[in-house]
Chains A and B, each alone.
Chain A
Amino acid sequence: MFADYSTSELMSIFAMQGFAGLILFSVFVLMALGLAIIFGQMGVINMAHGEFMILGAYVTYLTSNVFADYMPSLFGSYFFIAMILAFIAAGALGMFVEWALIRHLYKRPLDTLLATWGLSLILQQIYRSVFGAREVGVTLPDWLMGSIQLTDIVEVPINGIFVMSLAITISLIVAILMYKSRWGIQVRSVVQNRPMAGAVGINTARVDRLTFGLGCGIAGVAGSAFTMIGSTGPTSGQLYIVDTFLVVVFGGAQSLLGTIASAFTISQAQSTMEFFLSGSMSKVLTLLFVVGILMLRPQGLFSLKVRR
């Protein structure tokens, strides 16, 4: 297949393909971080994760409209404000949902699956009623469009770089929160032993609410960023949910490092295979590969050693 091409052409293509893999990796990390926090730290199977992402996307859409109508001169920078608003909106909804629904189900983790699936249907229908069944187009500021030309062939999409830096930033913030802050210590202690954490004076209910809110907030930011590369419609969240769970489960549910390692493995495997095989076939092989590994290591790539 490569006989007709010069070495420099091939090098450029491989460079770009490597970059495509890295973009996919960043997308996976963004998708999965919020879920890794909720599923991994709290054991809640949040089927509405995609809908929280789309809430972020709709907030971005609304923000872009407001800026276009009232502050066209500042349009170039609306995206940062949109991401902050998306975080607040999705996080607030997350905390409300935790208070109204999830906290009653902590002793029945499998029921959270059903409850959040129902929630996802409700949210989809709310989006449909409010924003209409059709997808909405989010206008991006000009500086986020297009690509940087490095050589004749090698071109790097700007929004790809943006998604990558966002993924790195958020991962760092989450890592610091989880492993360096007082709140992170509380979260981890609640995960490890809830009664004991309560006994030493940690307000476990509050920790739960904030953790769930943080996970949903990150989903909102991810959704906001994905307006650059994907669609924004009532059911768009469904496009991400399978990949998201795949990444989190494969990585080992309770390990953030595992989530990142798993996102990297899956994205590289998939983008390499996509280049040599057809898109559908590479998806099949990726899934087979993940199933195979999970049969050998049911706990995922990384797992915490916790006494149960």
Chain B
Amino acid sequence: MATTIKTRPTGSRSKLPGLVKSLMGAAAFATMALTAPISLAEVNTTGLAVTEDTVQVGILHSVTGTMAISETGSVQAEKLAIEQINAMGGVLGRKIEYIQEDGASDWPTFAEKSRKLLVNDKVAAVFGCWTSASRKAVLPVFEQYNGMLYYPTFYEGLEQSPNVIYTGQEATQQILAGIDWVVKAKNAKTFYLLGSDYIWPRTSNKIARKHIEKLGLKVVGEDYYPLGHTQFNSIINKFKLKKPDVIFASVVGGSNVAFYKQLKAAGIDMTKEKPLVLTISVTEDEILGIGGENIDGAYASMKYFQSLTNENNIAFVKAFKERWGDDIVIGDVTQAAYLGPWLWKAAVEAAGSFDIDKVRAASPGIELTTAPEGYVKVHPNHHLWSKTRIGNAKTDGQYEIVYETPELIEPDPFPEGYQ
């Protein structure tokens, strides 16, 4: 892992305390900066859990209950990032200590635990949540007690809180690029939209439908199944009847496994791309449960795949496997979770303070050149500029990257004309 994090000069940089500036100037004596932290009074004026040599943060994910399947990877990524930051000397000369709380896949528990982290523990930042429901549950708490949440999951957008940094993609970043690609590269004309029945797939499909219709193409069907649904034979027959060019799928959780297994069993060979399956919900994590042979040939539209070959990612994958075991896989959200502590560190250093308000003011414009996905930048709307990639699933459970957007895509959580 390269050890430099470049931060764009921002307005707040000029407000840095003089001591920081002089330390930064003494770059040759970098070790000095580690041993002589800035005085406590300067970096923490609001009574956060910061001491002369430590700073406490919270990790809030489900490690029990149904969401543990998905959130485990995020916890691992956040811990790895924190350990790496500590190995480099911490943040403003202070080692990060984390307090981990279990949201237990239960949204009121998330709210209660976030209150505990902010009020009792007075943590400087929280890395956590996974489902939109859990984020919505903690949002009022973070806004009331002025906390800072780094939220890793790709999600439906339509939200922008001063107390949240969204390190995953919002829906338009993921969907528009995916559909544009499939239209251009595969000459797709007709689409069938399928999702689990809750807010993220419904919002995503709404955006997808508007975009498809704007392009003058046709949506031949749109269907939702309850979360946890395990029988997809009827919908597969509908595919066979309507013969769409593309099945646009946002099925989640255990349903995912059932859907792809049954698709395969019904004789739809996805490698033939008739129809082509384009998903926005299957990361490498999900393929572990689905089985590579059952999803071989499907395409996914996301910002990160484990198979990315840039230097940052090679180092990241190596470090992740060394820390958490060789047979582990890393999906889109796991990588986004890994960005959280790094973005926070960069913002704190730019602000020269742990104070939430100063970190918030310093956050827009923070860049990370060491991100495994390449390069990301925080937008004033608290989402990240990022590239979207198209991956083609292979039997070994990895994606082969077939396309990458040439430019960073601007996050647009309130897309006009798509609501």
List chain A positions with a Cβ less than 8 A from chain B.
5, 9, 13, 16-17, 19-20, 23-24, 27, 125, 128, 132-139, 145-147, 149, 153, 155, 157-160, 226, 228-236, 238-240, 271, 274-275, 278-280, 283
> Given A133-B63, A133-B69, A137-B289, A230–B234 Cβ distance below 8 Å?
no
A238 pairs with B66, CB closer than 8 A: yes
Question: How many Å lie between the Cα of A189 and that of B292 in the bound state?
Answer: 51
Give the chain B neighbours of A147 by CB distance below 8 A. Answer: 265-267
The stretch of B6-14, B236-244, B305-313, B340-348 in contact with A is: B236-244
B289 pairs with A24, CB closer than 8 A: no
> Given A20-B237, A139-B291, A230–B68 Cβ distance below 8 Å?
no
**Cβ contact of A231, chosen from B68, B289, B293, cutoff 8 A:** B289
B180 to chain A, nearest CB (A): 27
A136 pairs with B258, CB closer than 8 A: no
> Given A157-B267, A231-B257, A136–B262 Cβ distance below 8 Å?
no
Give the chain A neighbours of B234 by CB distance below 8 A. Answer: 17, 20, 271, 274-275, 279
**Cβ contact of A125, chosen from B64, B72, B237, B267, cutoff 8 A:** B64
B69 pairs with A134, CB closer than 8 A: yes
Asked whether any CB of chain A lies closer than 8 Å to the CB of B403, the reply is no
> Given A137-B291, A229-B230, A128–B68 Cβ distance below 8 Å?
yes
A24 pairs with B233, CB closer than 8 A: yes
A133 pairs with B226, CB closer than 8 A: no
- Add 18 more A-B contacts to A16-B240, A145-B265 (CB < 8 A): A13-B240, A132-B72, A133-B63, A134-B288, A134-B289, A135-B254, A149-B267, A155-B266, A157-B266, A158-B265, A160-B265, A229-B230, A235-B68, A238-B228, A239-B254, A278-B223, A279-B229, A280-B224
A146 pairs with B235, CB closer than 8 A: no
> Given A134-B72, A234-B68, A274-B235, A139–B266 Cβ distance below 8 Å?
no
A154 to chain B, nearest CB (A): 9
Give the chain A neighbours of B367 by CB distance below 8 A. Answer: none
Asked whether any CB of chain A lies closer than 8 Å to the CB of B65, the reply is yes
Give the chain B neighbours of A136 by CB distance below 8 A. Answer: 288-289
B264 pairs with A279, CB closer than 8 A: no
**Cβ contact of A135, chosen from B63, B229, B257, cutoff 8 A:** B257
Asked whether any CB of chain A lies closer than 8 Å to the CB of B161, the reply is no
Give the chain B neighbours of A278 by CB distance below 8 A. Answer: 222-224
Closest to B73 in A: A134
**Cβ contact of A155, chosen from B69, B267, B288, cutoff 8 A:** B267
B62 to chain A, nearest CB (A): 9
Binary interface encoding of chain B residues 210-231 relative to chain A, with 1 for a CB under 8 A from any of its CBs, else 0: 0000000000001111101111
Give the chain B neighbours of A234 by CB distance below 8 A. Answer: 68-69
> Given A9-B241, A13-B237, A230–B230 Cβ distance below 8 Å?
yes
29 chain-A/chain-B pairs, Cβ below 8 angstroms: A13-B240, A16-B237, A17-B234, A132-B72, A134-B288, A135-B254, A135-B257, A137-B288, A137-B290, A145-B265, A147-B266, A153-B240, A157-B233, A157-B265, A157-B267, A228-B261, A229-B230, A229-B265, A230-B230, A230-B261, A232-B289, A235-B254, A239-B228, A271-B231, A271-B234, A275-B234, A278-B222, A279-B223, A279-B234
Closest to A280 in B: B197
A54 to chain B, nearest CB (A): 11
A275 pairs with B237, CB closer than 8 A: yes
Give the chain A neighbours of B240 by CB distance below 8 A. Answer: 13, 16, 153
Closest to A137 in B: B291
B65 pairs with A139, CB closer than 8 A: no
Give the chain A neighbours of B258 by CB distance below 8 A. Answer: 229-231
Q: How many A-B residue pairs have CB under 8 A?
A: 141
Give the chain A neighbours of B293 by CB distance below 8 A. Answer: 139, 145
Question: How many Å lie between the Cα of A137 and that of B293 in the bound state?
Answer: 10
B288 pairs with A275, CB closer than 8 A: no
Closest to A2 in B: B241
Give the chain A neighbours of B254 by CB distance below 8 A. Answer: 135, 230-231, 233, 235-236, 239
A136 to chain B, nearest CB (A): 7
Asked whether any CB of chain A lies closer than 8 Å to the CB of B355, the reply is no
Give the chain A neighbours of B241 by CB distance below 8 A. Answer: 5, 9, 13
Closest to A18 in B: B237
Question: How many Å lie between the Cα of A132 and that of B69 in the bound state?
Answer: 8
Binary interface encoding of chain B residues 60-85 relative to chain A, with 1 for a CB under 8 A from any of its CBs, else 0: 00011110110010000000000000
Asked whether any CB of chain A lies closer than 8 Å to the CB of B172, the reply is no
Segment 93-130 of B: residues with Cβ below 8 Å from A: none
Give the chain A neighbours of B262 by CB distance below 8 A. Answer: 157, 229
Asked whether any CB of chain A lies closer than 8 Å to the CB of B285, the reply is yes
Segment 378-410 of B: residues with Cβ below 8 Å from A: none
Give the chain A neighbours of B229 by CB distance below 8 A. Answer: 239, 279, 283
Asked whether any CB of chain A lies closer than 8 Å to the CB of B279, the reply is no
Asked whether any CB of chain A lies closer than 8 Å to the CB of B134, the reply is no
B197 pairs with A135, CB closer than 8 A: no
Question: How many Å lie between the Cα of A147 and that of B66 in the bound state?
Answer: 32
B353 to chain A, nearest CB (A): 37
Segment 191-215 of B: residues with Cβ below 8 Å from A: 197
B203 to chain A, nearest CB (A): 16
Of A145, A157, A158, A159, most buried by chain B (CB within 10 Å of CB) is: A157
A273 to chain B, nearest CB (A): 9
B267 pairs with A146, CB closer than 8 A: yes
Question: How many Å lie between the Cα of A13 and that of B240 in the bound state?
Answer: 8
B233 pairs with A271, CB closer than 8 A: yes
A9 to chain B, nearest CB (A): 7
Question: How many Å lie between the Cα of A236 and that of B258 in the bound state?
Answer: 11
> Given A13-B237, A135-B289, A279-B223, A146–B265 Cβ distance below 8 Å?
yes
Closest to A239 in B: B228
